[in-house]
Structure 1
Amino acid sequence: MGINPKLKVGDAAPDFSLESDTHGQVSLSDMKGKKLVIYFYPKDMTPGCTRQACDFRDNHQKFEAAGYTILGVSPDPIERHAKFREKHDLNFILMADPEHEMAEAYGVWREKTNYGKKYIGLVRSTFMIDADGKIAEIQDNVRATGHVDRLIRDSI
């Protein structure tokens, strides 16, 4: 099953409108003219997601200098995002997708396997969106460790 087979580099990014922990409702149309890094992660406060979020935090200036706005998306509620931000001093927007509508639109809500058990959940993935709202890059099913460094090296 992989990334939404309908989405490929060059396609218009699926629109979204989600509640964020610091910027109210955030939608793709609000970000018109901006380049985006949209990274989907499974859960606040877990070791891998914390490592990845802290890597984005620590490299925020590099993304900003390249013209990118970082958006983190998980199914966690706003209240948990706020605690996650505060605990780790995160400096980018976190958006709540509790009904996984955005995750489904981007094709990252799908079957996973953990310790031999299959279940449906969020697959850690990143989308680079250009200033015209088109998908410039898709990195599917990435590992938390080293992911941000690879984005910086290969994509910005």
Structure 2
Amino acid sequence: MISTGEKIDTNFTLSIVQNGEEKEVRFDELLDRPAIVSVYMRNNTSGCDKQNRSLAEHAEWFDEQGYNLIALSKDTCGSHQKYADKLGIPYVLASDPDFAFAEATDSIVEKKMYGKTYDAPSRSAFVIDTNGTVKAVIEKVNTKAHAEELKELIRSLS
């Protein structure tokens, strides 16, 4: 996992849903101000729904503090569009089926489910400055109180 103070390679493309619109962007285009990237596994699953509901309820606070809020999973933009409508998500949802962000942050971990082992992004969060420098990392997200843990982290950076 990337450490605080290290820079990530921001030269990769993601598909995103923003304000109801789907588009392709280079990651560095999302860094017009500091960003919080919250990685989750899948839309419409219990833990991920809790994680995103928490963010959606506090999205305005993060905006007021000067941060872009980005939630990222491997789901398609079509799925993200429905998910944003369902949960009232006002922030960017990014589709990353090739794990480009996880590779850039060295956050691919081994997981096990139903006796099978596979590699996938960790459920983590990153605070990234406009130049790609990692300001903070939450290596294991608390899905129920994700916004609160991020708010505490942002306050500690001030």
TM-score by length of 2: 0.86
Report the alpha carbon displacement of residue 29 of structure 1 after superposing the two structures with TM: 2.5
C-alpha distance in structure 2 between counterparts of 1:142 and 1:54, whole Å: 14
Which residue of structure 1 lines up, in the alignment, with residue 42 of structure 2?
A: 43
Across the aligned residues of Structure 1 and Structure 2, the Cα RMSD in angstroms comes to 1.8
C-alpha distance in structure 2 between counterparts of 1:49 and 1:72, whole Å: 10
8 Å CA contact 2:8, 2:104 repeated in 1: no
8 Å CA contact 1:35, 1:129 repeated in 2: yes
TM-score by length of 1: 0.87
C-alpha distance in structure 1 between counterparts of 2:3 and 2:69, whole Å: 20
Report the alpha carbon displacement of residue 14 of structure 1 after superposing the two structures with TM: 2.5
Which residue of structure 2 lines up, in the alignment, with residue 19 of structure 1?
A: 15
Structure 2, gaps ≥5 residues long:
none
8 Å CA contact 2:128, 2:135 repeated in 1: yes
Report SS of the residue matched to 2:149: helix
Which residue of structure 2 lines up, in the alignment, with residue 138 of structure 1?
A: 137
C-alpha distance in structure 2 between counterparts of 1:27 and 1:62, whole Å: 25
C-alpha distance in structure 2 between counterparts of 1:98 and 1:83, whole Å: 17
C-alpha distance in structure 2 between counterparts of 1:154 and 1:8, whole Å: 15
8 Å CA contact 1:41, 1:125 repeated in 2: yes
Report the alpha carbon displacement of residue 117 of structure 1 after superposing the two structures with TM: 5.0
The C-alpha deviation readout for 1:47-87, integer Å capped at 9, x for no partner, is 11111111111101110111000111101111111111111
What percentage of residue pairs aligned between the two structures are identical?
Answer: 25
The C-alpha deviation readout for 1:18-63, integer Å capped at 9, x for no partner, is 0112351222331344110011110011011111111111101110
Report SS of the residue matched to 2:29: helix
Structure 1, gaps ≥5 residues long:
none
8 Å CA contact 1:33, 1:132 repeated in 2: no
